[in-house]
């Protein structure tokens, strides 16, 4: 057997597949519609690169617009498993008549938010910023604390190291399957850390609040909706969850931002699992935010 020829054939097939995926990624990047209410799902992309992609989307979305509402948060504000037309950012734009830029990141944490706020600081096209936080944010925030993002359009290295971005774009327009009534869905996430015993994470949370306070304009911090009945069903420590939510709210009120506790304001029929909202929930969230922005 000619092992050398076989090895060369495998190498050629690998390079061809890699280049094909890269081409699809580049094409998807340029074809991704910037008029929709949220950036692409970049969950599987490393923090530094995924923020470059999301911020590039934000730049295109903001082009020629003023008085914008900038959304930074996690999968709840992103609208996980919701068709983008059925997310609160689309409903909020309809209610307020203002452009909404949803730069939320699935599994987004403090590092993601700090990078985005630093990159968009001083942008006079943005008048309002909305950010959500919950005890789960104290998981996964131990990564590198980048001092700067660098070029917002530094997307080329991403394609060289991660052609799987094509998958991210292809899953960004997902439509939920089946009825959108609440069902108990077992979550893979662990019980959140006790936020009061996580000084590094509390410090990062305070840095986010300080950045929002310094941004000027209207800054709104949401304590995320949580379906406590489902959390109890899966043996989460509900009293500790409530204590942690109270701590997040109390800390928020130390800063000159608008703090809204939504942790227990939504009914089971507005959730699709323990934390992610369905279409009814997204409509209710848009209404709550529109009211807060009018004050």
Specify burial of residue 191 (Cβ count, 10 A radius: 0-12, 13-18, 19+): middle
Residue pair 286/88 in contact by the 8 Å Cβ criterion? yes
The three-class DSSP label of residue 221 is: strand
Characterize the bridge pairing of strands 100-102 and 258-261.
unpaired
pLDDT of residue 156: 46
Number of domains in the chain: 1
Q: Cα separation of 120 and 126, whole Å?
A: 9
- Residue-wise pLDDT for 92-144, tens only, equals 999 999 999 999 988 788 888 888 898 888 899 999 999 999 887 775 444 44
37 touches 88 (CB < 8 A): no
* pLDDT for res 68: 95
Mean pLDDT of 279-295: 94
Per-residue pLDDT of 224-247, as tens digits, reads 999 988 877 777 788 888 988 999
Would you state the pLDDT for residue 34?
54
More confident residue, 149 or 38: 38
For residue 263, pLDDT beyond 90: yes
Q: What is the pLDDT of residues 1-57, one digit of tens each?
A: 577 777 888 888 877 776 666 665 555 555 555 556 677 666 666 666 677 778 878
**pLDDT per position as a tens digit, 195-226:** 666 677 888 899 999 999 999 789 999 999 99
Short-list 205, 194, 199, 202, CA closest to 240: 194
pLDDT of residue 64: 87
- Look up the domain containing 7 and give its range: 3-294
pTM of the model: 0.77
In the prediction, which pLDDT does 81 show? 82
Residue 21: predicted pLDDT:
61
- Looking at residue 280, which CATH number applies to its domain? 3.40.50.1110
Residue 131: strand, helix, or coil = strand
Those residues whose C-beta lies under 8 Å from the C-beta of residue 282, and which sit 6 or more positions away, are 79, 82, 86, 87, 88, 91
So what's the pLDDT on residue 195? 60
């Amino acid at each position: 057997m000619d092992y050398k020829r076989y090895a060369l054939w495998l190498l050629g097939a690998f390079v061809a597949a890699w280049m094909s995926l890269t081409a699809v990624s580049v094409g998807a990047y340029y074809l991704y519609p910037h008029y929709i209410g949220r950036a692409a799902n970049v969950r599987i992309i490393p923090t530094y690169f995924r923020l470059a992609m999301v911020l590039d989307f934000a730049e295109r979305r903001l082009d020629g617009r003023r008085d914008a509402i900038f959304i930074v948060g996690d999968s709840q504000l992103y609208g996980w498993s919701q068709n983008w037309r059925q997310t609160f950012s689309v409903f909020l734009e309809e209610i307020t008549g203002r452009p909404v830029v949803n730069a939320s990141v699935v599994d987004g944490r403090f590092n993601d938010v700090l990078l985005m706020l630093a990159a968009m600081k001083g942008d006079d096209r943005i008048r309002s910023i909305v950010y959500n936080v919950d005890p789960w944010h104290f998981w996964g925030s131990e990564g590198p604390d980048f001092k700067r993002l660098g070029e917002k359009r530094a997307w080329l290295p991403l394609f060289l190291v991660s052609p799987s971005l094509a998958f991210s774009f292809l899953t960004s327009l997902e439509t939920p399957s089946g009825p959108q009534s609440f069902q108990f869905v077992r979550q893979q996430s662990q019980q959140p850390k006790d936020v009061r015993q996580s000084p590094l994470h509390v410090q990062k949370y305070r840095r986010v609040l300080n950045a929002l306070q310094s941004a000027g304009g209207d800054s709104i911090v949401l304590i995320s909706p949580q379906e406590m009945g489902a959390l109890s069903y899966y043996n989460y420590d509900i009293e500790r969850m409530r204590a942690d939510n109270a701590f997040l709210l109390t800390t928020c009120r130390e800063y000159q931002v608008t703090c809204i506790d939504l942790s227990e304001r939504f009914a089971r029929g507005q959730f699709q699992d323990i934390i992610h909202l369905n279409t009814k929930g997204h409509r209710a969230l848009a209404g709550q935010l529109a009211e807060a922005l009018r004050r």
